Amino acid sequence: MSEWLTEFGMFVAQLLTLVVIGVLAVTVILRVRGETGERTRLRLDELNGTRRNRRRRMQLAASQPGARKRLAKAFRRDDKEHDRRGRKGEGEVLSTVWVLDFHGDIKASGTGQLAEEVSAVLAVAGREDEVVIRLESAGGLVHGYGLAAAELDRLREAGLSTTVCVDKVAASGGYLMACAADQLRAAPFAVIGSIGVVAQLPNLHRLLKRHDVDVEMLTAGRYKRTLTVFGENTEEGREKFREDLETTHELFKRHVAERRPGLDIEAVATGEIWYGSDAVSRGLVDALGTSEAYLVERMQQARVISLKLEHKQKLGDRLGMAVSRGVEHGVERGLEMLDAGRWQKR
């Protein structure tokens, strides 16, 4: 018996060794392919077909059991007729609505991806096509959002009709981008506006002075540094800093006024925000409505295609993210159990 167990153990050890070698080989191959292959892929989703399939599933679920077969046959006939018309070239040629998404952080770090997606659309879009940008951003760095707005301006300069839909927020730099559209739509409680500029930084000079710490800062150029964190700020430096803020604000106002000429820019460029319904009355937004409602409406006359540039992740990155999600889920589950335990009777 002991001899049999020894042989079986050796067999299991050899099998595990082969499995480990196989996994390592696959990992090396995938890593090599990932490093030499294209690092991005373009994902295209036709939203018309997705919505049609969902509607059919809902119709089947809501129908009586005896009518489901007839309904399924009717769907198949419709599909065959649609395919037949397509093969024969019958029917009106639909225009295309290209849908892009931009969710901005403080650095507008998605601008590079947005630029490539805009280039992809410009390469194929026809004169009758439309571009819809679902935009969400509370703003951030001036230069980051200035570049993002310039990427959207490329659509306008190419003569393409553009619509920006804001479901939650387009404020400050987000509105700088949004106003590039021919049509700007917002949900009733979306946050709009904040046409202003803000900057702040702490100053530790008095704390350092109290502890006899000197800070030496050497500059070439009168205004190379206006306000500092560690040095003593002067009134001249503060005044220059305020002038720079006003200059940036004027550029912001000019940008918006050029793209929305009917807007009373002085009345709205106060740094305030408004909700969607009030933003319409002030001319900041053209119409109320959610992005989903607008796209469903456009599906009646056009093909609606969502376009997204996805970055492929390396195997190590995917494994790391999987482990991270697992740990996070475990911690969340543990906290939920602890919280639930507070209400259990003992």
308: annotated active-site residue: no
β-bridge partners, 185: 165, 287
Q: Hey, what are 251's tokens?
A: 């550029």
* Active site (annotated) includes residue 172: yes
User: Per the residue annotation, which of 172, 194, 291, 306 is the catalytic one?
Assistant: 172
CA distance 246 to 223: 16
Q: Which H or E element spans position 111?
A: helix 111-124
97 φ/ψ angles, rounded to the nearest 5 degrees: -105, 115
Q: Are 133 and 181 in contact (CB under 8 A)?
A: yes
User: Looking at 2, 224, 281, 345, which residue is catalytic?
Assistant: 224
Spatial distance between the Cα atoms of 188 and 174, rounded to a whole number of angstroms: 17
Helical packing angle, 47-62 and 68-88, nearest 10°: 160
Nearest CA to 106 out of 133, 136, 144 is that of 144
For residues 276 and 259, give the distance between their C-alpha atoms in angstroms, rounded to a whole number.
Answer: 19
In 76-139, where do the E strands start and end? 95-103, 130-136
* 161-166 and 130-136 beta bridge pairing: parallel
Beta strands in the chain (DSSP E): 40-46, 95-103, 130-136, 161-166, 169-171, 183-186, 191-193, 273-275, 287-288, 302-311
Q: How far apart are CA 75 and CA 274, in angstroms?
A: 46
Listed residue (44, 42, 87, 51) closest to 298, CA to CA: 51
Which residues are identified as catalytic? Answer: 172, 224
